Chains A and B, each alone.
Chain A
């Protein structure tokens, strides 16, 4: 593997060892809490739609909202400053601090102040700055960067924080418990708050009509920071603006559920400019509240710092809808393993960080971690404003590919790869992006291609040139593809079917996991459906996953063209590989014309979804084997552990798999592991192998807890990962649902 891949692998291994346990424990707990809290709340889906609509409208209307909030705050005697960039914003706040002779400033947690480096700028200007959020305070003492948008010190365990505080503050009694650590920090920071001359907060939302800053906290530090010193400076990205209090409600009901699984945060503060609360002068303790010398002052600093350009950028715009709840981080299998110090840029972390970093710090700031989004899409249903986080990652990956310098190995792939990508594309990405071409050659030359691929010199070359980890078994290409098998197959002698479908021979099913395709054909035929398996173009999934959007677009158009006559003939399309189904249902709306995407999406089904539909419409399960009768490999065992493919789960197809298996008498336990960690090419890449296995082990461990059950998994990648980690066979849903081969010629 190349030096840069080796360094990246080493960096990830180090972070997994140092921070992984703490990150996993906390982020996966928050993820479970979110799932429970949103499932228990009937309005969740309606509010997500409403919240997205409000954000989209607000971003569209941003210049007018900036004018309105300026007028409202100034009417109330406050000040608004619209800062073009980070330096402009920090200069303004420094001037406010200097104007008030501020020696001490207290801050509540704000990612936007992290983004503009406000704390460092004030310190450099000679002001003492204290972070009052306990997580941020831990980081200030440790001199470390946040590892999570919401839980900035999530990578630190209680014991580490205790060691840190004991070493740094040398308390009379060493601190140990969470209670002791909290009490110590509260008392220490309480003094800082009382002596502070200026309180700086961020804002979760800003209401233009009333000039209101909305703050969401659990600790109460934002309240104290805003209300104790006479002067309050709120720093907010311009994207935080909402028209008025009327638009706030959906966010109030969504943000805490999405972030931590709480119905509502402990405190939701709405402060409109300088509030009517009495001033507090702790230097004159025997005066009544409100007797200080100065009136309250309020400054709202609205930060642009790239946001206006993001608003004009079709791929980055919806990043501005983000309400910074961290749900995309918590629902991400890779994030759970490494945390934001690997999966993050200068300021932001998790899936949405690619959008934020590219927007506020530039595309290069997203380059280091962008690969860690595998496109598994588990963040998509988690996001309270329905941002397509995987698409943002794909679009930026494409830009990074196009910005790359032409490399040394282009001669190796230029003639071979029929893609539409620029010279200089990472050869590893180009190789995986051209999976279909590889597979066609692989099948045509099998078994020689498989023997060769297993040989040491070839594996060394694959590692050196393409960064394919030698510890991974390569897919074994089958000489007879599914398309070949189907063409040679003698159909049953039953009555002419009145319904015909296309079974889509995706690359994996056609060339590698051919049995899954055969099983699907047998099952559909047994249910009275005629099946055709034409040779069809790739869906575009492989290049899209590498950020090769142009190539993916070409493949999508070709597949749509090739399927059109089948759709015209009234055939539905049945897809076995969830990642390809997700292409059609989720991604095609961005890759092919609207009408084409809608038509294709409406006629395309997951295999189990289609079987479910047949059964619901009166088909008899009679021809299908019941659990009691057994299926190949399971010896009549009715217990199943099922891991749904990540992208399939996002599409909601798990329910059909479970319902059909249930109908056949299986007892199904489904995993709640978000992704197996293989994610197409990701687990093959040498720099990510250890991370991929670490993620996969979460699933493998759960499966090992159910030793007597048949293992069923939905995607080709899930199978490759589990085959590598388990010493038990893994089946596809189709293999349990299909009748066993009946010995007819060509059936097996």
Chain B
């Protein structure tokens, strides 16, 4: 049995955040995951709070009142201070990360309004530098450039919808350039092409003469995977105006940049992610977990741990399941699931984008992110829960998903480092005394 200070279960935003902070804080960390997490599917903007239920302009200010109105919400656990601490920490990971000088910009104090791929303006707080130029709070003229070969990104559709926002004038143009030798190309294929100077030159040549004087230029978020800062800067220089990325449907290139950065930080700190480990339960003595059981191929193994961070995601990622009798189950450690509407109560609302009480189901935690049962008592003393596994949020409606994952993952790591540090200090004091 291997032994680690911390086993983190899940390799999405919350799990990687917790793991990196722990490893950089000196802990030995093992990240176990069934597969790669949702970073690859995420626009990779840090949405802290977008709607509550009206659009939020200043998320950090709005957090306290929001948490008060939503008892049991993860933001009530981490507080505005938890968010305020996590955001700069995240941005700093990029500063000397593998993709530097690619950077994040913005603060949790105010939301930008960035276009989606269908031309809706979405509030988001902290974003890749390559997206910040798309902030249309004050309106503006936008030329959305797309590629015929890139599925699911339609510049004219995005532009038509953008033009419906007051103060925004947008038009779309579609280019016919295909990365060399390719037939069916996804976002990553285009990102690799953009890493190539010849492809960039071709794109610039096709766009440059067609722009109006005041227009800024939007591209799908495919501006480079190896060195996105260089690609984006060069396009701005050559086109002589702001250029920005609009997130695409999966695979998300900006999400892959987050994954690459956090995974590399983790590796440098001496820890790693091990995939194809499906965690199936906890070994425990009373309320203390001593290790996690995992299924690896056809074999079962136990990974010993002093601490466990559970960050397997919610219903969408399979971290939480619902059976045909409406009983919820947290799949990795078998923790109780809270918030499942009782028989007779409303489970789903009639509107797709409306309120769905079921979405708030998840693992309930106490103030220290320990899982609790229906009676409010802790299930395990050394398990902390982070990210979309947590009960109480409706991240799609609130536009709070990454903010919750980042803040709860960051804080879980901090709580463990503090506890381990004070245990060490009392051990030292005991020896000295």
Co-assembled chains A and B: no
Interface residues of B (CB under 8 A from A): none
Chain A residues within 8 Å of B, Cβ to Cβ? none
